[in-house]
């Protein structure tokens, strides 16, 4: 993966500025170099120290890029280059150059793979500890302890950044899931709304066409119903897409009775819905709408019986039975999803006497 394909790391320069403050501790080797008399060791040390600072800052800015792209070879290269530059500081600064190892440890812990950085930091600590006690005239000047402090601090920041990134990914996944669920809800509601409305409109249009000559007054009434249904469907679509969609069970009972009568199917529905708890009335309404739509579309029935109690809704027709379709279809499957989300169940199959078709909704009472 190329670097251009990675999203900009907006925190990189803030990280560089924050960590760059600690460069003040390089004043120890810098002071040792400036105390010399301008010999080649001083110039080599100054050049090496300047390059060391540049590589350190570049390494900090590339931390995220290294991990995102898996460029851990770059992490090794940065560490090796910094160690080479460190050796260029030694002739002029002596044991004061050991301060540079603290910054090498910081780069290694921030850019290496997980525990590899800690292993490198441990080796650097051992090197400073031994050099300060073995090389004649040298002292560690606390740099061995500083390596441990830098390692702990950088490791803590690294864990914090990783958890922050994990949280950001989790939030994005939740956001994507919420968007997908909302799309599914809208698609399911639009299917139910338009499927029912267009079915009733088609039935009433056919009936109105037959009544134009035989009963003009009844035909006009059917046309007015069609206009009303079209307006209601448009309003329902707008409400659904804005997330404000809800159904009224009494209204759906009245609409089901009217739709069934228009289709020439004798309706037997309750006149009130007082027995149904308010918590499940909307679910009953969706179920009634989908079931009646299917009865009108597919059943070839002459009668439809609807019964409802506080925990069960049953829609039974005397039509051709469950073999009339190859499967549930999108509407019934969408209804099953809606009911499952509410903790209920939907069953469908032949009527009690083996004839017709029954859709049955059961909820916890």
Task: Give the pLDDT band (50/70/90) at residue 274.
Answer: confident
Locate all alpha helices (DSSP H) within the chain, ordered by sequence: 12-20, 27-34, 40-61, 63-69, 72-93, 99-111, 114-134, 143-214, 216-241, 249-262, 278-294, 329-341
- Kindly state the tokens that stand for 188: 């399911």
d(CA 239, CA 284): 19
> Does residue 118 carry a pLDDT above 70?
yes
Report CA 65 to chain centroid distance, whole Å: 23
Stated pTM of the model: 0.49
Q: Is 127 helix (H, G, I), strand (E, B) or coil?
A: helix
pLDDT range class, residue 277, cuts 50, 70, 90: confident
Could you tell me if 212 and 219 are in contact, meaning their C-beta atoms sit under 8 angstroms apart? yes
Per-residue pLDDT band for 45 (boundaries 50, 70, 90) equals: very high
Q: Which residue has the higher pLDDT, 162 or 129?
A: 129
Q: Is the pLDDT of residue 8 over 50?
A: no
Q: Indicate the CATH number for domain 265-365.
A: 3.30.565.10
Question: What is the C-alpha to C-alpha distance for residues 308 and 5, in angstroms, rounded to an integer?
Answer: 59
- Which of 205-209, 256-260, 276-280 has maximum average pLDDT? 256-260
Q: Please say if the pLDDT value at position 317 is more than 90.
A: yes
Q: What pLDDT is stored for residue 326 in this prediction?
A: 44
Q: How confident is the model at residue 11 (pLDDT cuts 50, 70, 90)?
A: low
Two structure tokens written together for 201: 């409109």
> Is a pLDDT exceeding 60 seen at residue 245?
no
Rounded to an integer, what distance in angstroms lies between the CA atom of residue 198 and that of residue 226?
Answer: 9
Res. 215 pLDDT band, cuts 50 70 90: confident
Which tokens belong to 121? 């930091």
Q: Give the pLDDT band (50/70/90) at residue 241.
A: low
> How far is CA 59 from its chain centroid?
32
Q: Domain boundaries in the chain?
A: 3-141, 265-365
C-beta atoms surrounding 45 within 10 Å: 28
* Confidence bin at 227 (pLDDT 50/70/90): confident
Q: Which of 3, 92, 17, 5 is nearest to 60 (CA)?
A: 17
- Residues 247-275 have a mean pLDDT of 84
Question: What is the tens place of the pLDDT at every residue in 190-207?
Answer: 666 666 667 777 877 877
At 312 the pLDDT is 92
């Amino acid at each position: 993966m190329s670097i251009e394909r990675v999203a900009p790391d907006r925190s990189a320069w803030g990280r560089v500025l924050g960590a760059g403050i600690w460069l003040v501790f390089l004043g120890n080797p810098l002071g040792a170099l400036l105390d010399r008399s301008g010999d080649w060791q001083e110039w080599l040390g100054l050049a090496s120290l300047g390059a060391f600072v540049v590589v350190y800052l570049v390494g900090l800015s590339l931390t995220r890029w290294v991990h995102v792209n898996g460029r851990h070879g770059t992490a090794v290269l940065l560490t090796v280059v910094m160690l080479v530059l460190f050796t260029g500081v030694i002739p002029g600064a002596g044991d004061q150059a050991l301060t540079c190892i603290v910054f090498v440890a910081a780069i290694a812990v921030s850019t290496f793979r997980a525990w590899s950085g800690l292993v490198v930091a441990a080796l650097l600590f051992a090197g400073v500890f031994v050099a300060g006690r073995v090389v004649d005239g040298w002292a560690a000047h606390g740099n061995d302890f500083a390596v441990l402090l830098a390692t702990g601090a950088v490791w803590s920041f690294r864990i914090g950044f990783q958890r922050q990134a994990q949280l950001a990914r989790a939030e994005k996944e939740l956001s994507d899931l919420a968007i997908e669920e909302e799309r599914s809800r809208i698609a399911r509601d639009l299917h139910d709304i338009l499927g029912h409305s267009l079915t009733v409109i088609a039935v009433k249009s056919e009936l109105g066409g037959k009544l134009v000559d035989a009963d003009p007054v009844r035909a006009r009434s059917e046309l007015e119903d069609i206009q009303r249904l079209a307006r209601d469907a448009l309003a329902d679509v707008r409400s659904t897409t804005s997330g404000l969609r809800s159904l009224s069970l009494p209204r759906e009972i009245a609409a089901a009775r009217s739709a069934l009568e228009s289709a020439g199917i004798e309706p037997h529905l309750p006149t009130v819905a007082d027995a149904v708890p308010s918590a499940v009335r909307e679910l009953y309404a969706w179920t009634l709408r989908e079931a009646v739509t299917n009865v009108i579309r597919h059943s070839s029935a002459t009668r439809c019986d609807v019964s409802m109690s506080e925990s069960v809704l049953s829609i039974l027709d005397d039509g051709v039975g469950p073999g009339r379709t190859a499967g549930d279809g999108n509407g019934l499957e969408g209804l099953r999803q809606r009911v499952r989300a509410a903790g209920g169940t939907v069953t469908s199959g032949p009527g009690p006497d083996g004839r017709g078709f029954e859709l049955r909704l059961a909820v916890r009472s």
